[in-house]
Amino acid sequence: MAEVQERTLNEEDRIMRVWTPILLRTILIASAIVLVFGLFLMATKTPTFYVERFRSIQAGKLHPNETFSQDISEALNGDPHSVMTLGLFILTLVPLARVAFCFLLFLKERDYTFVGLTAYVLIGLVAGVLLGRIG
């Protein structure tokens, strides 16, 4: 029994060590590409707008908050600000995707203690969005 449990633990560890770096690197590269593209669009399409935006941020005025669907549609239309916001959202997917991957792995291996622990972290990350919306 102890031997079977030990083997399961080693298998979980091996899978996580192989796939976690791939997952982290892939999402990181994807977000970097989108962010660089957004900055490129900003530099070529609206260079003076960036300066104005930066000065207003220094004065404490931020861009009004938009919904995620608004950002997506504006990003598809080539709006530099929305493209960069999309890049930042992809970046914040890194921890979310990593925890979700571990959750599914523990579920597959029926390691219910860690299913509960990773589910708590996942719920916490999603709660972050709700907390930001109300706060």
Partner 1 sequence: MGEILLGLFALSIGAGFIGALSGLGGGVFIVPALVILARLPMKVAIGASLISVVATSAGASVAFVRDGWTNLKVAMVLECATVTGALAGAYLAGVVPVWILEALFALTMLQSAYFSFQKQEDDLIENGDPISKRLHLGGEVLDEDGKMVHYEVVHFPTGAGLMVMAGMMSGLLGIGSGALKVMAMDYFMHIPLKVSSATSNFMIGVTAGAGALVFLARGDVATSVAAPVALGVTVGALAGSKILPHANIKALRMSFVVILVLIAIEMGWRAVRGI
Residue 94 CB coordination number (10 Å): 17
Helix (H) or strand (E) holding 59: none
Selected binder of partner 1 within 2, 4, 47, 110 (CB under 8 A): 47
Task: Return d(Cα 16, Cα 105) in angstroms, integer.
Answer: 8
**CA–CA distances in Å: residue 57 to residues 2, 26, 38, 50, 102:** 59, 31, 18, 10, 38
Using CB under 8 A as the binding rule, the residues of this chain from 73 to 132 that contact partner 1 are: 81, 84-85, 87-89, 91-92, 94-96, 98-99, 102, 113-114, 117-118, 120-121, 124-125, 127-132
Name the token pair of 101: 């991957």
Query: Where along the sequence are the contacts to partner 1 (CB under 8 A)?
Result: 9, 13, 16-17, 20-21, 24-25, 27-28, 31-32, 35-36, 38-39, 42-43, 47-48, 50-51, 53-54, 57-58, 60, 62-65, 81, 84-85, 87-89, 91-92, 94-96, 98-99, 102, 113-114, 117-118, 120-121, 124-125, 127-133, 135
